[in-house]
Amino acid sequence: MDYKKLGLKIGLEIHQQLDTEKLFCNCPSNLSEGEPDSIIRRKLHAVAGEMGDIDPAALQAYTKDRTYVYKFYRNSACLLELDEEPPRRLNPEALETVLKIALMLDSKVMDELHVMRKTVIDGSNTSGFQRTSLIAVDGSLQFNGLKIKIPTICLEEDAARIVQAKEKEVTYNLDRLGIPLIEIATSPDIQSPEQARDVAKAIGSIIRATGKAKRGIGTIRQDLNISIKGGARVELKGVQDLNSIPKVLENEIKRQQSEKEVKEETRKVLPDCTSKYMRPLPGASRMYPETDLPPIVITANKLSELKKNLPKLPWEQIKDLEKKYSLSTELASTLYNSAYFEYFEKLVKDVRVEPKIIASTFTSTLKSLPESEIELSYEHYRDLFKALDSGKFSKEAIAQVLESWLNQPDKKLDELVKGLGLKGVSKGDLEKLIEKIVVDNKKLIEERGERAIQPLMGLVMKEVRGKADGKLVMEILRNKVK
Amino acid sequence: MKSGSKIKVKTAKREYEGILMPRSELADEAHIVLKLSSGYNIGILKKDIVKTETLSEKAGKPKPNTVKFDKSKPAISLVSTGGTITSKVDYKTGGVFPYTKPEELLADIPELGKYVQVKAIKQPFSLLSEDMSSLEWAKIAKEVCSELNSGAEGVIVTHGTDTLHYTAAALSFMLQDLSKPVAVIGAQRSTDRGSFDGALNLVCGAHYCLSDIAEVSIVMHGSTEDKHCIANRGTKTRKMHSSRRDAFRPINELPLAQIFSDGNTVILNPEHKKRSNSKVKLDDKFEEKVALVYSYPGSDPKILDTYVKNGYKGIILAGTGFGHVSTQPIEKKFSWLPAIKNAVKSGVFIGATTQTFYGTTDPYVYSAGRLMLDSGVVFLKDMLPETAYIKLGWVLGHTKKLEEVEKLMLKNMAGEISERIDPKAFLY
């Protein structure tokens, strides 16, 4: 597809949950399952918008005249989520996190923050509105030589989770209501579906660099805005998996090309990467001040304080890893994004094993093993590398040891290694062995010289694989051959 | 620059365009507020502003509403006194304004038109309910009386929730020979939001106004759900939570009725006056110099002397337990007995209620009560402290003779005294 010819314009809007208490109360940001502590049934009321009109999106939801059923769990919600209490304060930890991200994205933070009420009457907010605040404007992301503009960064509360939707009754779980969300919106500068995915990845990693991004399914949602020449702006809501962004966009392009008249609308993304009509695009008349909260002044001092302590951008952190631990870019990058990065950072302090070996254990060795439900603990890995360091086995045996340990995680490492017959070969024995092989293959060495080392290496390793370090073998062999 | 006008603001780094918003009382003087085209409000530091330009004056006016009530439906009236429930938010400014025309109310709560026509909205004043006094109660009673006697089947009084129960109690005494329903209604959530609880309250209030219950009742949510409202007798109800929509609970009795939005009414307590054709009489006499005093461990009884010196005619004590104050402390200065005796000698009525709200007072069970009784305190059965304060003001408006006052205070006029208490009433 020739995207330029199509006049393809893509904009991205990312919503990422923050791993702090809820935005306007002191509830933990947890999800709850099982029997709710109570079930509350409510109705919502259509409200006129700012200009005295009824907002079209709001009216549409209202005319359906539904009952909203809310599941309440006391370990994840309080009176605020039941719309029975005013908001307490804007969570300072969440605010600070968003301010840092705003600075990392080179944006202009507002002098004074105002929390707004944004009308929502599909029942996903018990109050009939979402609390949201514009934190910063005019940011940008330098990306592969391209500058992606980030016009707005907002901090807002997440909505209740839908459990079931019947014609006259919609059921929600209040656990998710109030979890802080950072919303980052790009201009429609993105030029291809693949680029959209990559920009989404980059923005996600910047948020994660603060250490306050919640992880797991449903903690990040991506909405896409797309238009082609002769079409209209369509919003595609709720892409959860980054990697399906290109497919979703391609399907939408195909749909727009096949329709006679493309209407401006909001569509819901389905699991098969197609989409279905959800509601009309919301108008601008839905926001008014949250008068229960005072405005928050952000001083220049506060910003310069934060600037001093900004986490490094992900690509900078990766470069640092490369330099500090002599890792390749690819290894450093995979390691940084892996779930074991924290373990790596601790292990390089606790054990005297080459960081490269530790890193690749996590990024490739583990992946090569058969899938296991078991997760080894930090202590397991620490003991593993300590044993490696003291020559109990060689690095080539790591895969074997891990695979075995994953099947019997409670077994002691010494026993395990013994059971695998991996007791290491001493340097003296190794020298004797190599000596023997060199002597046995004298003819080959005379014929090929240095090029005999490779095949001889193979012979030695056949004998000692897993019990001796390949590098050491190579070293001794080289010396002997000389 | 006037708020409401579209302006352009230039700082050293950037330009902003939007509608100028008024500044709230919570905010400082150093910033201005702009509403951007996205709808978001932002604050801009004044000292960073290099230039401003007005692009157009007051952008747009709210559209007027043209909906009308159906004249074939039964007629009720609305007396609006202010409060969240009958205020519209101006989305532009965040400012709050009262409804003045019945049509405005119908436009926002169209369900009302299914059941009633609101023939008049009277607005004697518009106040936060914590700013009200006996002067306001008299004004409200006058309007209600006039409407009831001129063809309204019932009257809804809309009111701030903070002191709603005081007004409901006052109306119960000021409207004599009450023959039709009066519903006092508020809202705990604002009208701007989809979860506005006032909508259900008003619809149920309208149903109450067409019912057979000739009492002043508070009609508000019965639970945190939007299932039903409860009609609670005005003299037996208190705001028991600062923010919950079901904050108003009856004390020492069950609600008079449960009312559902479709009009279905379940009578829970049949002990109420029934609708009749008699004319309602306004009796708004009220002695302003009455006080409500809490006693608590370590409290200084000299507060009574202060009131007496200042010409107060009656004091309601909200005592502990059965209505007790300190009578036999180790440090004599904490005993209330001298101050009580002094007040009674000066012709000031002293009545005892309990700060537990639930349960009844009793002078005989403990020595404290007996000592208080001997000092001239009148124990007021299970009357709520707030209701007793209101009733005392009303009674003293008619007579200052202590024996007469006592007789009238102990006469059950508007259900304020429970002859029998249902165990289910506790924490209903």
Is pLDDT of B215 > 60?
yes
What are the tens digits of pLDDT across the range B92-111?
A: 555 667 766 656 766 778 88
Mean pLDDT of A400-422: 87
Q: Which residues of chain A does B89 touch, with a Cβ-Cβ cutoff of 8 Å?
A: 288
pLDDT at B96: 65
Asked if the C-beta of A36 comes within 8 angstroms of chain B's C-beta atoms, the answer is no
From B91, B95, B134, select the one nearest B396 (Cα to Cα). B134
Instruction: Give every CB contact of residue A91 below 8 A, 6+ residues apart in sequence.
Output: A20, A21, A22, A23, A24, A180
pLDDT at A433: 86
Decide which of A158 and A410 is more confident: A158
Lowest mean pLDDT among A286-300, B246-260, B289-303: A286-300
From B317, B288, B390, B307, select the one nearest B347 (Cα to Cα). B307
Percent of chain B residues past pLDDT 90, beyond the cut: 81
pLDDT at A51: 41
E strands, B187-276, are: 216-221, 228-233, 237-239, 248-250, 257-260, 265-267
Is pLDDT of A285 > 80?
no
Lowest mean pLDDT among A468-482, B37-51, B168-182: A468-482
Which residue is associated with the tokens 């105002």?
A114
Is pLDDT of B185 > 90?
yes
CB contacts < 8 Å between A and B, how many? 141
Instruction: In whole angstroms, give the CA distance from residue B376 to residue B87.
Output: 47
Asked if the C-beta of A171 comes within 8 angstroms of chain B's C-beta atoms, the answer is no
Instruction: In whole angstroms, give the CA distance from residue A224 to residue A245.
Output: 8
pLDDT at B66: 55
Cβ contact B168:B77 at 8 Å: no
Are A84 and B244 within 8 A, CB to CB?
yes
Lowest mean pLDDT among A95-109, A170-184, B55-69: B55-69
Instruction: Give every CB contact of residue A53 below 8 A, 6+ residues apart in sequence.
Output: A285, B63
Q: Are strands B378-379 and B349-354 parallel, antiparallel or unpaired?
A: parallel
Cβ contact B82:B129 at 8 Å: yes
Instruction: In whole angstroms, give the CA distance from residue B203 to residue A45.
Output: 13
Instruction: In whole angstroms, give the CA distance from residue B243 to residue B161.
Output: 10
From B340, B373, B357, select the one nearest B418 (Cα to Cα). B357
pLDDT at B62: 57
pLDDT at B64: 57
User: How distant is the Cα of B58 from the closest Cα of chain A, in angstroms?
Assistant: 12
Mean pLDDT of B297-322: 98
Mean pLDDT of B333-350: 98
Are B195 and A110 within 8 A, CB to CB?
no
Cβ contact A188:A11 at 8 Å: yes
Percent of chain A residues past pLDDT 70, beyond the cut: 95
Cβ contact A99:A298 at 8 Å: yes
Instruction: Give every CB contact of residue B77 below 8 A, 6+ residues apart in sequence.
Output: B118, B119, B120, B121, B122, B147, B152, B155, B156
From B307, B318, B311, B325, select the one nearest B373 (Cα to Cα). B325
Mean pLDDT of A33-44: 95
Q: Which amino acid is at B396?
A: L
Mutation choice for A interface testing from B32, B40, B89 by most A CBs within 10 A = B40
The 8-class DSSP code of residue A320 comes to H
Asked if the C-beta of A84 comes within 8 angstroms of chain B's C-beta atoms, the answer is yes
Least CB-CB distance to A288: which of B31, B36, B89? B89
Strand (E) or helix (H) holding B168 = helix B164-174
Least CB-CB distance to B42: which of A85, A114, A291? A114
Nearest residue in B to A45, CA atom: B194
Across chain A, mean pLDDT equals 89
Instruction: In whole angstroms, give the CA distance from residue A125 to residue A119.
Output: 9
Least CB-CB distance to A45: which of B21, B30, B199? B199
E strands, B240-313, are: 248-250, 257-260, 265-267, 281-282, 290-294
Dihedral class, residue B393 (left if φ above 0, else alpha if ψ from -120 to 50, else beta): alpha
Mean pLDDT of A399-416: 89
**DSSP SS3 for A299:** coil
Using CA of residue B208, residue B211, residue B217, residue B222, what is the dihedral sign? negative
Are B42 and A112 within 8 A, CB to CB?
yes
What are the tens digits of pLDDT across the range A56-87?
A: 555 655 555 789 999 999 999 999 999 999 99
What are the tens digits of pLDDT across the range A113-164?
A: 999 999 887 899 999 999 999 999 999 998 777 899 999 999 999 999 999 9
Are B195 and A50 within 8 A, CB to CB?
no
Cβ contact A176:A41 at 8 Å: no
Instruction: In whole angstroms, give the CA distance from residue B203 to residue B106.
Output: 11
- Environment class of residue A49 by beta-carbon count within 10 Å: exposed (0-12), middle (13-18) or buried (19+)? buried
* Confidence bin at A52 (pLDDT 50/70/90): very low
Mean pLDDT of A215-219: 84
A192-206, B63-77, B146-160: range with highest mean pLDDT:
B146-160
DSSP A106-125: TPEEPSEE-EEEEE--SSSS
CA–chain centroid gap for B267, Å, is 23
Which residue is associated with the tokens 């559209």?
B63
Mutation choice for B interface testing from A113, A114, A131, A133 by most B CBs within 10 A = A114
Q: Which amino acid is at A318?
A: I
User: How distant is the Cα of A349 from the closest Cα of chain B, in angstroms?
Assistant: 46
pTM of the model: 0.83
DSSP A162-186: EEEE-SSEEEEETTSTT-EEEEEE-
* Confidence bin at B154 (pLDDT 50/70/90): very high
Instruction: Give every CB contact of residue B6 below 8 A, 6+ residues apart in sequence.
Output: B17, B18, B19, B20, B54, B55, B56, B59
Cβ contact A198:A99 at 8 Å: no
Are B224 and A84 within 8 A, CB to CB?
yes
Catalytic residue positions of B? 84, 161-162, 239
What are the tens digits of pLDDT across the range A220-235?
A: 999 999 998 887 899 9
pLDDT at A50: 42
pLDDT at A54: 55
Q: Residue B182 pairs with which residues in a beta bridge? A: B155, B216
Asked if the C-beta of A155 comes within 8 angstroms of chain B's C-beta atoms, the answer is no
Decide which of A56 and A201 is more confident: A201
Mutation choice for B interface testing from A118, A168, A288 by most B CBs within 10 A = A288
Is pLDDT of A481 > 60?
yes
What are the tens digits of pLDDT across the range A332-343?
A: 988 887 778 888
* Confidence bin at A432 (pLDDT 50/70/90): confident
* Confidence bin at B53 (pLDDT 50/70/90): very high
Asked if the C-beta of A405 comes within 8 angstroms of chain B's C-beta atoms, the answer is no
Are B91 and A134 within 8 A, CB to CB?
no
Residue A32 has, within 13 A of its CA and on its CB side, a CA count of 24
User: How distant is the Cα of B389 from the closest Cα of chain A, in angstroms?
Assistant: 30
A203-207, A464-468, B106-110, B300-304: range with highest mean pLDDT:
B300-304
Asked if the C-beta of A133 comes within 8 angstroms of chain B's C-beta atoms, the answer is yes
